[in-house]
Structure 1
Amino acid sequence: MQPLAYRMRPTTIEEVVGQQNLIGPGKIISRMVKAKLLSSMILYGPPGTGKTSIASAIAGSTKYAFRMLNAATDSKKDLQIVAEEAKMSGTVILLLDEIHRLDKTKQDFLLPHLENGHIILIGATTENPYISINPAIRSRTQIFEVKPLSPDDILVALKRSVTDTEKGLGQLNLHVYPEAFTFLSNSTNGDLRSSLNALELAAQSTDPDDNGIINITLPIAEECLQKKAITQDKDGDAHYDVISAFQKSIRGSDTNAALHYMARLLDSGDLQSVIRRLLVIAYEDIGLANPSACQRTVAAVTAAEHLGLPEARIPLADAVIELTVSPKSNSGISAIDAALADIHNGKIGDVPDHLRDSHYKGAAKLGRGVNYQYPHNFPNDWIAQQYLPDKLKNAEYYVPKSNGQIEPRFGEQYERLLNAQRKN
């Protein structure tokens, strides 16, 4: 029997949960489907976040033939079969999983079919396509990042599966307690497939009560997902409350509180939330006050990913202690947010002519790159010249802080360069 997650795959764009930035009304993929002007694309993001579902929904909404292959395990012969079908039927949507593992032979065969539009390629990958996918494929596709689903998105899909009598579990006399629904939607880090698999296991392995009702309680959900609920709270906010308290404890330099909240997360099996949050904390809250601590945090989380639980707790504990006692600075995030605020408010301006690309014939006639001063030709490898657009030539985004031993030195050099620039 096909797994519940497979059976519940959407057949139209409207059935997709989450990813509204891509498939919501008026958004890019929705517009492609509506106009039937599909282009090949790469969807990248964590497992269970809807890459295959989006591909299936696109095919269902457009009524094009839909085929699924794996770049690692399927052969060039399999691609040839799809290509022959495309020649006969006109257009085939091909979902190519693990596209980052596509070898050159298969790629060279596939490229002409992408060019003529017979095959609409939807590549799926968990790897960053800008790093892991060949430029020849990238140049012929649009790249869309698929985000982990929110608990609300997962809850919608879980409840839909319980009531669906055709593809879901609706034929069972099933009662899922609210706290079990909340746990299943909050505890898989946005992985809908894992949530559906756990729900199906719970439904199929739980005996009905005297009234013939299969009751899915929180302990049953925990057992089937092999995780513990951090706490039982009716609103489902507890998980995010713990993550929030974890970051705020490190930011506030309370080592014992930070270790306590990390222990709660690790005890629930949520290693990924700890890893992601530590990386954010390192660069958001410590940053330039102690850059080496940021580097050691990256090393610690890398070790934790290789080790897995329970050993992962060891390098993570070291990182938490160092980040907690470290001097703090949020000047980096404040600086980029200030720059982004100008962009969002329309303060952009033209790139100065002397900074524009001059590596093409006729650039000099347009004034591109003329009068650019190459800093390495001057003493101390520096020369004063304007880099910001005219509209923003006096903008300042970085405000140095005096915490720690490193950033004050950065700040002194920043001020010297800024004053010299403006003086000249």
Structure 2
Amino acid sequence: MTNEPLAARMRPNNIDEIISQQHLVGSRGIIRRMVDTKRLSSMIFYGPPGIGKTSIAKAIAGSTQYKFRQLNAVSNSKKDMQMVVEEAKMSGQVILLLDEIHRLDKTKQDFLLPHLENGKIVLIGATTSNPYHAINPAIRSRAQIFELYPLNEDDIRLALERALDDEINGLKSYAPTIDEDALIYFSTQSQGDVRSALNALELAVLSSETSEHGRHITLQDAKDCLQRGAFLSDKDGDMHYDVMSAFQKSIRGSDVNAALHYLARLIEAGDLPTIARRLLVISYEDVGLASPNAGQRTLAAIEAAERLGFPEARIPLSQAVIELCLSPKSNSGITAIDHALSDIRKGYAGQVPNHLKDGHYSGAKELGRAIGYKYPHNYDNGFVAQQYLPDKLKNKIYYEPKTTSKSEQQFKQIFDNITQNQQK
């Protein structure tokens, strides 16, 4: 047996052996259709680690019988790429898997581009970063972009069972037996990362004691070899932002259980600054004027969490999340200021009315400034109708009150009275 990890040894030899990503390699998947017609174009695979980017590239090569070479955009040099190009000139076409393609420098990119154009090199770029942001447009425009997804539990279990039954590349020669709960643990706690699951299984088998009945893998063995699972958390990656987005949208949608789930994921990632910032934003953006004190209480919970640190920080954070979920919601504040900003950015500003201009400097009254200003405190209820907006915007309304809470209903009543008086 080679020194390659189990995950590398168990990679599929052709497209029919691929376990997941059926949206690409299924009966009507675009990659299958390219393979069946042997009309390959350059492509970029992106998604989290351990979900089959390299495996699909090798399976494509195995199914088409094209030469396959694998390089890394950072560690391999331009000379390494030149050798692949020379091989392509001799054999007709080579599939080049280029890992970390988002880190390809300009010199290597400029060298590769003409060979992508003439079809000698079929480039398959692999990256965990979003190619629409991270990859140079010159490469991106010459490749099809395909997103790969984490494997589900059934897919990972199938990969594990294949490895246990494989005599040549797998673990069957060790005659392992594995408890059901251990198999479930590997399948569920790898979080869609099949490479992590396979390599943890191999470690469990190789490190277990041999008896006359072979090697026995228990749940504890599984836990020892897959510490805390392969929790997916990349603070600079798309998944991190997806979780943050789902966190806010769950609170906005008043789904306490979903919000706590995403909070738990962020807590497991140890990302207190992100949680704190996001909660404070939510308290003003999504709850807002429907519960004006929610922002203060959220800030207090955040400050308590920051003083406590994890694991105790989870307590005030969870209470803040539950309160925000179950609070009435209003986005009237953010909508109002965004409408006002939109007008400013479109050039709709206008001159400040003369009676509102600063009248505290020499010559102001001679210029007519501050003359005609009515001091609200001199009137009943501290209000007097007068124009405050510039002439070109004097009838503009930015704030549109919601009626989702008693507090904003009160704001609406006051706002409506003022607006009506202003328009008389």
TM range (shorter): 0.5 to 0.7
Does the C-alpha gap of structure 1 residues 290 and 49 become closer, same or farther in structure 2, counting only changes over 3 Å?
farther
* Corresponding residue of 2:128: 126
Amino acid at match of 1:222: K
Whether 1:224 aligns to 2:225 is yes
> How far 1:170 moved relative to its partner?
1.6
The answer to whether the aligner puts 1:189 opposite 2:191 as a matched pair is yes
- State the superposition RMSD in angstroms: 4.7
Secondary structure (helix, strand or coil) at the match of 1:26 reads coil
Gap change, CA 1:66 and 1:54, over 3 Å in 2: same
Q: Secondary structure at the match of 1:108?
A: helix
- Residue 143 of structure 1 aligns to a residue whose secondary structure is strand
Kept in 2: contact 1:184–1:195 (CA 8 A)? yes
* Alignment deviations for residues 169-214 of structure 1 (CA, whole Å, 9 cap, x no partner): 12121111111111001001111111011000000010123x3321
Q: How does 1:69-88 map to 2 (within 5 A)?
A: 69-88=71-90
Report the Cα offset of residue 130 of structure 1: 0.9
Conserved? CA contact 1:72–1:102, under 8 Å: yes
Confirm or deny: 8 A CA contact 1:48 1:194 kept in the other structure.
yes
TM-score between the two structures when normalised by the length of structure 2 = 0.64
Alignment match, 1:162 = 164
Partner Cα distance (1:180, 1:315) in 2: 31
**What pairs with 1:184-333 in structure 2 (closer than 5 Å)?**
184-209=186-211, 211-227=212-228, 251=254, 258=260, 271=269, 288-290=286-288, 313=311, 319-326=317-324, 328=327
Q: Which amino acid aligns with 1:402?
A: T
Shift of 1:311: 6.2
In structure 2, give the amino acid aligned to 1:188: S
Tell me how far apart the structure 2 counterparts of residues 180 and 406 of structure 1 sit (CA, whole Å). Answer: 54
User: What are structure 2's unaligned runs of at least 5 residues?
Assistant: 231-245, 332-344, 350-391, 397-401, 416-424
Q: State which drifts further: 283-292 or 47-56.
A: 283-292
After superposition, give the CA deviation of every residue in 1:277-315 in whole Å (9 maximum; x if it has no partner). Answer: 99999999997335998xx99xx9xxx9xxxxx966577
Quick one: distance in 2 between partners of 1:329 and 1:34? 55
Count of residues in correspondence between the two structures: 322
Secondary structure at the aligned position of 2:172 is classed as: coil
| C-alpha distance in 2 between matches for 1:322 and 1:214 | 49
1:100-119 alignment, distance < 5 Å: 100-119=102-121
| Counterpart residue identity of residue 286, structure 2 | L
Query: Which of residues 38, 41, 56 is equivalent to 1:39?
Result: 41
Shift of 1:18: 1.2
Q: Distance in 1 between matches of 2:4 and 2:409?
A: 57
Distance in 2 (CA, whole Å) between partners of 1:72 and 1:404 is 59
| DSSP 3-state at the match of 1:56 | helix
Q: State the Cα distance separating 1:26 from its structure 2 match.
A: 0.8
Q: One-letter code of the match for 2:321? A: L
Question: Aligned to 1:48, what secondary structure does the other structure show?
Answer: coil
For residues 149 and 408 of structure 1, do their structure 2 counterparts lie closer, same or farther at Cα, with a shift above 3 Å needed? farther
- The letter for the 1-side match of 2:58 is S
Structure 1: how far apart are the matches of 2:330 and 2:221? Answer: 46
Preserved CA contact (<8 Å) 1:289 1:329: yes
Residues 260 and 321 in structure 2, CA contact (< 8 A), matched pair in contact too: no
Equivalent in the alignment of 2:140: 138
Query: For residues 402 and 83 of structure 1, what CA distance do their matches in structure 2 show?
Result: 65
CA distance in 2, matches of 1:95, 1:75: 14
Q: Give the counterpart of 1:62 among 57, 61, 64.
A: 64
- Alpha-carbon separation, structure 2, partners of 1:407 and 1:17: 56
- Indicate conservation of the 8 Å contact 2:47/2:148, yes or no: yes
Q: Offset at 1:324?
A: 2.0
Secondary structure of the corresponding residue to residue 146 of structure 2: strand
Cα offset, 1:134, TM superposition: 0.5
Deviations along 1:47-93, one digit per CA (max 9) or x if unpaired, are: 00111111111111111111000001110000100010011101100
Is the CA contact (8 Å cut-off) linking 1:43 and 1:51 kept in structure 2? yes
Where does the alignment leave 5 or more consecutive residues of structure 1 unmatched? 230-242, 305-309, 333-373, 384-399, 414-424
Question: Contact 1:286–1:329 (CA<8 Å) still a contact in 2?
Answer: no
Bigger Rg over Cα: 2
Letter in structure 2 aligned against 1:5 = A
Paired letter, 2:209:
D
Per the TM alignment, residue 164 of structure 1 is displaced from its structure 2 partner at its CA by 0.8
Q: For 1:58 and 1:381, how far apart are their aligned partners in 2?
A: 65
Q: 1:93 to 1:279 in 2, by over 3 A?
A: farther
TM-score normalised by structure 1 residue count: 0.64
